[in-house]
Chain A
Amino acid sequence: MSTRQMELEVMRYDPEQDKAPYFQKYSVPCEDDWAILDAINYVKENIDTTLAYRWSCHMMVCGSCGMMVNGEPSLTCKTFIRDLPDRVRIEPLENFPIERDLVVVLDDVMEKLRMAKPFIIRKDDPPPEDREYTQSRANLYKFKQYTMCINCMCCYAACPQYALDKSFIGPAVLALAHRYNIDSRDQGKSERLNILADHDGVWECSFVGACSEVCPKSVDPAAAVQQMKIDGAKEWWKQKLGGGKS
């Protein structure tokens, strides 16, 4: 198998030592079938063991290797060097504080994830012991794509609204909430909307759609957010006309 010499410009930053992030260049002999993550692993194993980054599965499941590759939020295990020029710039995901090198701090999104209540809410909780909550195939198809999210946070790095205003709840969390809102087994829609259709929720999205474009799992968070806006508007009228929270 042939190899190609590639130049990686990797952003380095140790908040305890460095005043500002800087770029370090590594020349890496890449195999044709490598993903950019393989090239980063090569650097770590053979050139510079101090490089910090996250990865785990190398098969588009864990969602930990999201980084900016030539300015584009990408899952590095899914971004192949055959599709890239000889010089590649790798940076930590945009819009997040840097913990070190390519590792970002995800606390903000993790906190927001809690707000979305991403689990089935039932009024008859605990569930009856003698039966299951059934799920129709048609209903499953409605929300299945939203279950594919692996929380890689590429959508947050692409989102211009999150870049402007960190209080915006953001694409992945809203898409996940929508997944439960449209699940026929769930009864927590209005509970979630009271949180997610509040001031910093769905309304902050101006439907640029960058989140859906960069999603490595082909989830469409932009559509979820727009559908949630419709639900939020309906719920607003319901609460106003119904004289309180439903």
Chain B
Amino acid sequence: MNPILSASGLGKRFGDRVACRDVGFDLWPGEVLGVVGESGSGKTTLLNCLAGRLHPETGTVVYDSAAYGQVDVHDLSEARRRLLSRTEWGFVNQDAREGLRMGVSAGANIGERLMAIGARHYGDIRRTASEWLGRVEIEQDRLDDRPTTYSGGMRQRLQIARNLVSGPRLVFMDEPTGGLDVSVQARILDLLRGLVETLHLSAVLVTHDLGVARLLTHRLMVMQGGRVVEEGLTDQVLDDPQDAYTQMLVASILPV
């Protein structure tokens, strides 16, 4: 079996600031990898490099595609990378507004990927969209409403539905519960955990919240100043941190 995503030697700079340096890992099918660290530690840059949204200066990202076999994400033509990103991948932004079309209905938001890959039956698209709305626990009579009328938590759930409707295998998540109320967070985390399990998704999850990481991820990478300072099984890293920085991170969360 191949890893579904394999990164090695990734490096990226912005001006004279190093955003990430020599990052590598293998992500196995069905696995959720967490990337944690404080803001500015390079997590989001890393995620964008993995998803092909940013070009790293060094290193490679190899994805094991269902359609094309093993491909280097940054060697792919833009056409193919965009196709992959709307068929085999999902990307959940921290700010749902960036991942949604705010000017069209929830149904159109969920249906877009289906239409982009050729669905042309309005009734079918609508039915599927409605089902997905239900799966992310939004009342189905909100199907024709625009996300502007949704609460923050609902928008985030809609964004998740919009991503998962095409049955992706790999999902990138950037602080999917950031900026939401604690009770709302808990509901989304539950939802995500259920979906990852039932859909057998692989995922890379960036978060600064160790609680989120503990709940959702199998393995953890701790980043500081653009480098990986520690990695391992999530429970192991959180319960017995080896690196001084990780120890500080773990110590700084309030005991639950």
A binds B: no
Q: Which residues of B contact A (CB under 8 A)?
A: none
Q: Which residues of A contact B (CB under 8 A)?
A: none
